[in-house]
Copies of this chain bind each other. A is one copy, B any other.
């Protein structure tokens, strides 16, 4: 499978140039980096996030009023280095501190923690949250993986809006703790993606199978099974999410149905139509829903469902607040 690219080793830089030019009125790229800073400067706690490239529109698409004040992106599937995290913090800080949202992957956590250390030494006030919404399990140990995946977008939306509304660092930290415990995500691949540097897909998957529990870095899932239909897939995902999220009759949820990069909207919509019927049958109320490509994995064909159990009606207001990032 061919890609629209020129050189696998400059692909992220070519893309950063494209974004910087296209959205120059709204975001500023720090030259020669994957750091993007919002041009709107409001006196508020700045919220930032970031990670490797290959997940577009994440994270650059979430830089803007009411979302992130900056993001730091690295090469494909590789987090930005600590120095870039530090630079993003410095560029975003309006004097009221910076809240950092990190996806739970070993390399990401390491880079971001080092970057935060540099910023703390420099006198910035910082709090952070590590999003670990993936509730799939390891094939061998059955331990939950708890990687940070598409649910991160819901965390960015809620925390970004709360910061915009004037919450201070401590309040954001408290909010993040309840929030992150309330998000569960499960992903399924129908066809693996391919790294720009490689010719072959990131894992093997026959034309009749799907892979449950895939990550956003092309990781294969915990189980491959025959693919039957969108409806059967929806049943399996919803049952798992319901039990992981301890969802009962009359509970309220926000749902994000996320395409992994190569899933057309037609198919996402068919799948959502199956999913929502199951949710309604269980008398769980969908108070917010969003469908599209939000946290992708290169050109993987697949879908993930993130389910946020609503524990505070303010979360719905935060999710509904008008914001400015092009990816939302």
A contacts, CB < 8 Å to B: 1-7, 11, 14-15, 17-19, 21-22, 53-54, 56-57, 190-191, 207-208, 210, 227, 229-231, 233, 261-274, 276, 289, 291, 293, 296, 298-299, 301, 303
Contacts and interface: CB of A to CB of B under 8 A. Distances in A.
Given A56-B264, A266-B11, A266-B298, A276 B21 contact: yes
This protein's copies in its complex: 2
Say whether chain A's binding surface is mostly helix, strand, loop, or mixed.
Answer: mixed
A286 B187 CA distance: 39
A268 B301 CA distance: 17
The 9 closest A-B pairs by CB, nearest first: A18-B273, A4-B267, A18-B269, A262-B262, A261-B264, A56-B265, A4-B271, A4-B230, A15-B269
A270 B1 contact: no
A85 B1 CA distance: 39
Contacts of A231: 6
Contacts of A299: 262-264, 267, 301
B298 A264 contact: yes
A53 B19 CA distance: 30
A258 B17 CA distance: 18
Nearest to A14: B270
Given A190-B1, A264-B56, A6 B270 contact: yes
Nearest to A210: B2
